[in-house]
C-alpha cells in the first residue's frame, strides 16, 4: 500500500465557511492508501519536508493560492526547494486542479508562477471538469498527457419529502463570496421587469461585512437572506420547496463546484452557467444552463415543467460516489505513477 501525504488538511470546526472536500477526499482514499499525515497542517509547506522520507506521493490542492496564505511568498520559496528535493528523491506529486486561471486577467505574478510550477512538476493532474482538461491542452500542451478528468464525487441523496408546494422560485445557497455573482444578480433582478417579481431565498454565511451590507441593500420584500451556516439536510428541505437551485456564478476560472454536487442530492432542478462542471452535467434531466442573466426569464417561466428523471439522478450519485472515486483514483495512480 503506497503512502500518501494530503494537503491541505483543515480543521473545519472554527471555519466560517467550512468546505468538506478534504475530509471526503481523505475518507475516499484511506482504504487504498496509507495516509501519513493524520492531523491538520499547521505549518504549511514546511511540513512537506517532515514527511519527505515517510511518503511516496503528495496530493496537493489549491496550490495556486499559496501566496495568499500566511507568509505566502516565503512558503512559495520553500515549495520551490521542495520541488527540487522531490525530484532528487523521486517522490510523486498529484495536483487536483480545482480552478483555471485567465491569462488575460492575471491574478498576479505569484499565482501565475505557481500555475506554471505545478504544471511542470506535477506528475499527475486531476480535474473535476472537462474545461480543466481543455485548459491544460490550450495553455500547457506539453502537460496534456498527465491531466485526467474525474467527475467531482458526490454523497448519497438526501431524504425526499415528496411533492411540495413551491414557496420560492430560486434558492441560492453556499458561502456568500464575491466570485459567486450574487450581488450582480440581485442588481440585475431589481432592474428587470421580467424578473423583479421572483421570490428568492439565499442561504449561506457571508464572511465579508461590507459585501453582506451591499447584498442586504439590494434585498426586496420578495427576497429572503439567511446569513447562517445550516446543515445540508435542512438546506435540502428548503431546496425541495423552491422551483430551482440557482447559481449566479460569474467566475471564468471556476471548474467544479461542491455546492453543485450537493444540490444534485436535494431533489430539485438546477440552473447554472454554461461552463465547467455545470456544462459537463447538463445531460442530466435536472440540470439546465444559461449563458447570461437575460435568458433566465424563459427558463424560470411559470409554466416550466419541474419534473425530471429522479432515478437517473439517483444512479448518477451511486456511480460517482466518493467510494467510487477512491477506486478510480487508485487506478490512475497505479497506471501512471507506479
What domains does the chain contain, in order, with CATH numbers?
A: 3-153+320-337 (3.40.50.2000), 168-318 (3.40.50.2000)
Expressed in angstroms, the distance from the first to the final Cα of the chain is: 11
What local confidence, expressed as pLDDT, does residue 18 receive? 65
What local confidence, expressed as pLDDT, does residue 34 receive? 97
What local confidence, expressed as pLDDT, does residue 65 receive? 92
What local confidence, expressed as pLDDT, does residue 304 receive? 74
The phi, psi pair for 186, rounded to 5°, reads: -65, -40
What local confidence, expressed as pLDDT, does residue 254 receive? 79
Strands (E), the chain: 3-7, 34-35, 57-61, 92-97, 124-127, 147-149, 168-173, 200-203, 223-226, 242-246, 269-273, 287-290
Which of 166, 261, 248 has its CA nearest to residue 215? 248
pLDDT by residue for the chain (338 residues), tens only, comes to: 999 999 998 766 555 556 899 999 999 999 999 999 988 778 899 999 999 999 999 999 999 999 999 999 999 999 999 999 999 999 999 999 999 875 545 568 999 999 999 999 999 999 999 999 999 999 999 999 999 999 999 999 999 888 878 999 999 999 999 989 999 999 999 999 989 999 999 999 999 999 999 999 999 999 999 999 999 999 999 999 999 999 998 767 778 899 999 999 999 999 999 999 999 999 999 999 999 898 888 888 766 788 899 999 999 999 999 999 999 999 999 999 97
Amino acid at each position: 500500500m503506497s503512502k500518501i501525504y494530503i494537503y491541505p488538511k483543515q480543521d473545519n470546526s472554527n471555519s466560517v465557511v467550512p468546505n468538506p472536500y478534504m475530509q471526503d477526499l481523505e475518507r475516499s482514499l484511506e482504504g487504498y492508501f496509507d495516509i501519513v499525515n493524520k492531523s491538520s497542517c499547521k505549518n504549511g509547506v514546511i511540513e512537506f519536508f517532515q514527511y519527505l522520507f515517510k511518503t511516496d506521493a503528495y496530493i496537493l490542492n489549491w496550490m495556486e493560492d499559496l501566496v495568499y496564505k500566511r507568509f505566502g511568498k516565503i512558503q512559495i520559496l520553500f515549495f520551490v526547494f521542495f520541488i527540487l528535493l522531490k525530484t532528487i528523491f523521486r517522490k510523486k506529486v498529484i495536483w487536483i486542479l480545482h480552478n483555471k486561471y485567465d491569462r488575460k486577467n492575471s491574478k498576479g505574478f505569484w499565482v501565475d508562477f505557481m500555475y506554471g510550477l505545478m504544471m511542470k512538476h506535477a506528475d499527475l493532474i486531476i480535474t473535476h471538469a472537462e474545461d480543466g482538461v481543455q485548459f491544460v491542452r490550450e495553455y500547457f500542451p506539453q502537460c496534456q498527457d498527465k491531466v485526467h478528468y474525474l467527475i467531482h464525487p458526490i454523497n448519497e441523496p438526501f431524504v425526499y419529502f415528496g411533492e411540495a408546494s413551491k414557496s420560492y422560485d430560486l434558492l441560492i445557497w453556499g458561502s456568500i463570496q464575491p466570485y459567486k455573482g450574487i450581488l450582480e444578480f440581485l442588481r440585475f433582478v431589481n432592474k428587470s421587469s421580467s424578473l423583479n417579481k421572483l421570490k428568492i431565498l439565499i442561504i449561506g454565511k457571508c464572511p465579508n461585512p461590507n459585501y453582506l451590507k451591499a447584498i442586504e441593500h439590494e434585498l426586496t420584500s420578495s427576497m429572503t437572506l439567511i446569513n447562517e451556516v445550516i446543515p445540508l439536510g435542512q438546506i435540502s428541505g428548503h431546496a425541495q420547496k423552491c422551483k430551482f437551485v440557482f447559481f449566479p456564478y460569474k467566475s471564468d476560472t471556476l471548474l467544479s463546484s461542491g455546492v453543485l454536487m450537493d444540490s444534485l442530492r436535494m431533489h430539485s432542478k438546477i440552473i447554472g452557467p454554461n461552463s465547467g462542471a455545470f456544462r459537463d452535467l447538463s445531460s442530466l434531466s435536472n440540470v439546465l444552463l444559461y449563458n447570461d442573466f437575460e435568458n433566465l426569464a424563459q427558463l424560470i417561466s411559470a409554466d416550466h415543467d419541474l419534473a425530471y428523471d429522479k432515478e437517473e439522478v439517483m444512479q448518477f450519485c451511486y456511480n460517482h460516489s466518493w467510494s467510487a472515486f477512491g477506486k478510480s483514483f487508485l487506478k490512475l495512480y497505479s497506471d501512471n505513477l507506479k
